[in-house]
Amino acid sequence: MEWGELVSLMKSKLGKPDKSLYEHSKNAEIIAEKLLDGLEIRDEVRSCLLKHVFLHDVGKLDDRFQEKLVGKRKSSPSHAFLGVELASRFLECEELLKKIALLSILTHHSDFHEGLFQNEIDEEEVLIVDGKVISEPANFVMELREWAGEIFGWNDRIGNYSTLDLRNLYTLFNGVLRLSDWMESSSLSPSIYFTDEGFVRGRVEDYLIGRGFRLREYQEFVIGKGHGYFLLPTGDGKTETSLLATPPGVRKIIYTLPTITTVEAMRKRFEAIFGRDNVSFGHSLIFYSLYKEGRLEEKIVNKYAMKGIHVSTIDQFLLAFLNHHKFSVKEFALRNSHWIIDEIHSYPPFTLALILSGIRYAVEYLGAKVTVMSATLPSPLREKLKDLGLREIIPFEKVRERYERKRRVRVKVFDCPVLDYIEEIADERGLVLVVVNTVSRAREVFRELKEKRDDVYLFHSRFTTSDREKKTKLVESLDSGILVATQVVEVSLDIDYDVLYTEVSPLDSLIQRFGRVNRRGRKDGRAYIFIPEGKRFYLPYDKKSVEVSMGLVKELESAESELEYLRLNDRFYEEIWDRYEGEIKRNILEREYLITIHRFGISDRLLSSRDTFITVPAIPKNFWESVVELAENWGKLSEEERVRGMVYVIENTVNVPIWVFNEHKIYDENVYSRFGVFGVDLDYNSEEGLLEGKEKEIIF
């Protein structure tokens, strides 16, 4: 077949129900070209990439696909499989680029794995056009699949390319292809994908002026200097400062946070600053968030960072580095972006090691500029950031006074458990915060206090999605009463309490808890620290972290400013840094994942970026029978009933610690295959959350 004949066929066949295959393909190529704006790409790579976008859907020429488009068939063989050999005849690129391009075409709807299209290969499916076989792709696909399996997964070089170079090329080709295909199909303009530093700076300055603020000296200083790190106390405008630091030449803002709650709050703030049309957001409950707002049609735009300013939980990008579903699209979003990492102090060693490796890859291969910030950035971590080429972009001397002037709480340490002070807590007035380290102990404290007064509330991470949302709103609206909580309050809530009663936790965690009290510095804040009790007193943290903190907390009593907190935090990290160093040296991301494109089976709901302990989404037994019934009757439900069913499952899901889950797991094949969740044989109530299944069981 000659080129002219292929183009004529594409013009005569449908690509979508309302347009020809040629029109869809040509439009996608034009969008792809615009998506490449601002990226430094060799001419031969650009040419090959654009040609492969044009050719990606030639498998739709197949008679069966054409019949499906007009409603004469319910299904047809995969067009990605059927068309890849035909596309190979017209791709005139150097051999390695050509194979990457063909691999991208083959996987533009399916992530790569060793058994990809095995059924089609076994059935020897062929491309049939106007009743004639014009391509027999089975052997070609098998050879391409074997080639990919051989070159990816080994830290080696192929000619002038390292394995990381090849991954980088693959995610470039496949990311552009998927995006241009989706944008063309949805009639989206590629202009929504970009922003620039001028727009960001102007909107941030207007936002601050509108709220009665002017730029502080350190904010003026940092303008355009992003790609580094800085420290700034809570309440001193870290977010706006990081945005003002956006350097010239970036195409996109990627702003990442630890939790869904912080993302939801930040994206509403960003919508106020930049306008909803310019902001997308992402986290594992994106379906639920958009459903509640009547915006389900925007799921792909938000999930895949298709707006110029994107705010997301960081695990969505770590999962991309781990080759999770459609990972090439997330990686493409990071290209020439300003990646802002907030609250970096809040991650445990394993996750922090992933983040540091991810930064190195994003800078070296994706051209990202990275800005890291925290109120408590320990010196060992600052050294690691310097090793990655990130510099201090606000000299600490410019903000030292901000720390020296703040002392929002006076600290007193007691050598006893918090349960010994129930009477004193119950006698407090105003807004009282009690933070303990496990859900089980929080429930115990809550029950004791509830016997003494009515305005006592419980908040932790083992509530259903629906109840947790309601409790978040309640907690943030309280003007008096007692909130008993776990470490879930450290970074996730916009709260300002009068007094804190807390168990000893790792020192940086304690400092975050202090930040929930007297946030604006206008009151006489108090913080009382107690010793956790029991044989496993340190849970859910590691024993050394809690023991080191217990040796330092007494010095908090004499701290005259938050500058002393930083010094103590440095001492704390110097004592425990070996745990972080061990994970960093393992370098699991670069050694096992970035050298391959094989899909990874981990779910985004199984990667916890806040807890040392992995959690599993599960349905408590109170709701289990209803979910089983939904799965059994799925085929009989209307589209609207299915949406409501999905929402019911999401609303009644609890993230359960893996070891508790293993003790109480309920499995149903229909439920798991339909919704991706298990059940747990544990009781649940809306006031206290997930309940222990047996005596002495501890839920974190």
Residue showing tokens 């990809």: 116
Summarize pLDDT for 184-195 with one digit per residue, the tens. 999 999 999 999
Evaluate whether 13 touches 68 at the Cβ level (below 8 Å). Answer: no
Question: How far apart are alpha carbons 159 and 157 in whole angstroms?
Answer: 6
∠ CA 50-51-52, nearest 5°, is: 90
Question: How far apart are alpha carbons 564 and 45 in whole angstroms?
Answer: 53
With a threshold of 0.85, does the pTM exceed it? Answer: yes
- Residue type for 15, please? G
* pLDDT, the chain, mean: 92
Instruction: Say what the pLDDT of residue 696 is.
Output: 56
Summarize pLDDT for 432-487 with one digit per residue, the tens. 999 999 999 999 999 999 999 999 999 998 999 999 999 988 988 999 999 999 98
Measured in residues, the chain has a length of 700
CB-based contacts of 89, cutoff 8 Å, min separation 6: 1
Summarize pLDDT for 209-237 with one digit per residue, the tens. 999 999 999 999 999 999 999 999 888 89
Evaluate whether 499 touches 428 at the Cβ level (below 8 Å). Answer: yes
Question: How far apart are alpha carbons 471 and 465 in whole angstroms?
Answer: 10
Instruction: Say what the pLDDT of residue 692 is.
Output: 79
Summarize pLDDT for 300-344 with one digit per residue, the tens. 999 999 999 999 999 899 989 988 889 999 999 999 999 999 988
How is residue 115 written in tokens?
């058994």
Domains observed in the chain: 3-175 (1.10.3210.30), 199-403 (3.40.50.300), 407-560 (3.40.50.300), 615-690 (no CATH)
Question: How far apart are alpha carbons 88 and 67 in whole angstroms?
Answer: 25
Question: How far apart are alpha carbons 142 and 140 in whole angstroms?
Answer: 5
Higher pLDDT, 287 or 160: 287
> Residue 553 pLDDT more than 70?
yes
Summarize pLDDT for 569-609 with one digit per residue, the tens. 999 999 999 999 999 999 888 888 888 898 865 434 344 43
* pLDDT bracket for residue 614 (50, 70, 90): low
- Give the range among 96-105, 196-205, 472-481, 514-523 with minimum mean pLDDT: 514-523
Residue 524: CB atoms within 10 A of its CB come to 10
Instruction: Say what the pLDDT of residue 570 is.
Output: 96
Summarize pLDDT for 672-695 with one digit per residue, the tens. 888 988 999 999 999 999 997 665
How is residue 506 written in tokens?
């790792």
Instruction: Say what the pLDDT of residue 435 is.
Output: 97
Measured in degrees and rounded to the nearest 5, phi and psi for residue 118 equal -65, -40
* pLDDT bracket for residue 181 (50, 70, 90): very high
Instruction: Say what the pLDDT of residue 154 is.
Output: 72
Assign residue 430 a region (left: φ > 0; alpha: ψ between -120 and 50; beta: otherwise).
left
**Residue percentage of the chain with pLDDT more than 90:** 79
Assign residue 132 a region (left: φ > 0; alpha: ψ between -120 and 50; beta: otherwise).
beta
CB-based contacts of 451, cutoff 8 Å, min separation 6: none
Summarize pLDDT for 338-380 with one digit per residue, the tens. 999 998 888 888 889 999 999 999 999 999 999 999 989 999 9
Instruction: State whether residue 500 is helix, strand or coil.
Output: strand
